C-alpha cells in the first residue's frame, strides 16, 4: 500500500514539471477524487516536510468525495490532516 504521504511527492513532482514548462503556479489547482482527495488534503496540510514546496507549485486544492486512508504505509501512525496552508474545497455527500 502506498501512503498519501508517498503520493504527495508524486504531486510535488507534477507541480515542479508544470513550473519548468512555464505554467503559472497561481493558476494551478490540485484536484483529487477518492483516495486522490486524501492526497490533496495531505499535501495541503500545514507544517509537513513538503508544505512549503507544495505552496510553490499549487494555488488551491479541490477534493471530491475523499476516501481517506488514515495510516502510513507501515500502519504505525495516522496522517495528520489540516489545518491547511492554502485554500482547500472539499465536496462530499451521503
Residue 72 scores a pLDDT above 80: no
DSSP letter string over the chain? ---HHHHHHHHHHHHHHHHHTT--GGG-EEEEETHHHHHHHHHTBTTSTTHHHHHHH-SEEEEES-----B-TTSSSBPP--SBSS-EEEE---
Q: For position 1, what pLDDT does the model report?
A: 65
92 pLDDT band, cuts 50/70/90, is confident
Domain ranges of the chain: 4-91
Q: For position 49, what pLDDT does the model report?
A: 92
Report percent pLDDT > 90 for the chain: 65
Per-residue pLDDT tens digits for 32-57: 998 899 899 999 999 999 999 999 99
Residue 69 scores a pLDDT above 80: no
Grid-cell match 477534493, residue found: 63
For the chain, how many residues are written? Answer: 94
Amino acid at each position: 500500500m502506498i501512503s498519501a504521504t508517498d503520493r504527495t511527492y508524486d504531486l510535488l513532482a507534477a507541480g515542479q514539471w508544470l513550473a519548468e514548462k512555464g505554467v503559472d503556479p497561481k493558476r494551478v489547482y490540485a484536484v483529487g477524487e477518492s483516495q486522490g482527495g486524501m492526497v490533496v488534503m495531505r499535501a495541503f496540510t500545514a507544517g509537513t516536510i513538503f508544505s512549503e514546496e507544495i505552496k510553490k507549485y499549487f494555488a488551491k486544492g479541490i477534493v471530491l468525495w475523499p476516501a481517506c486512508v488514515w495510516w502510513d504505509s507501515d500502519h504505525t501512525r495516522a496522517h495528520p490532516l489540516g489545518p491547511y496552508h492554502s485554500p482547500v474545497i472539499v465536496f462530499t455527500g451521503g
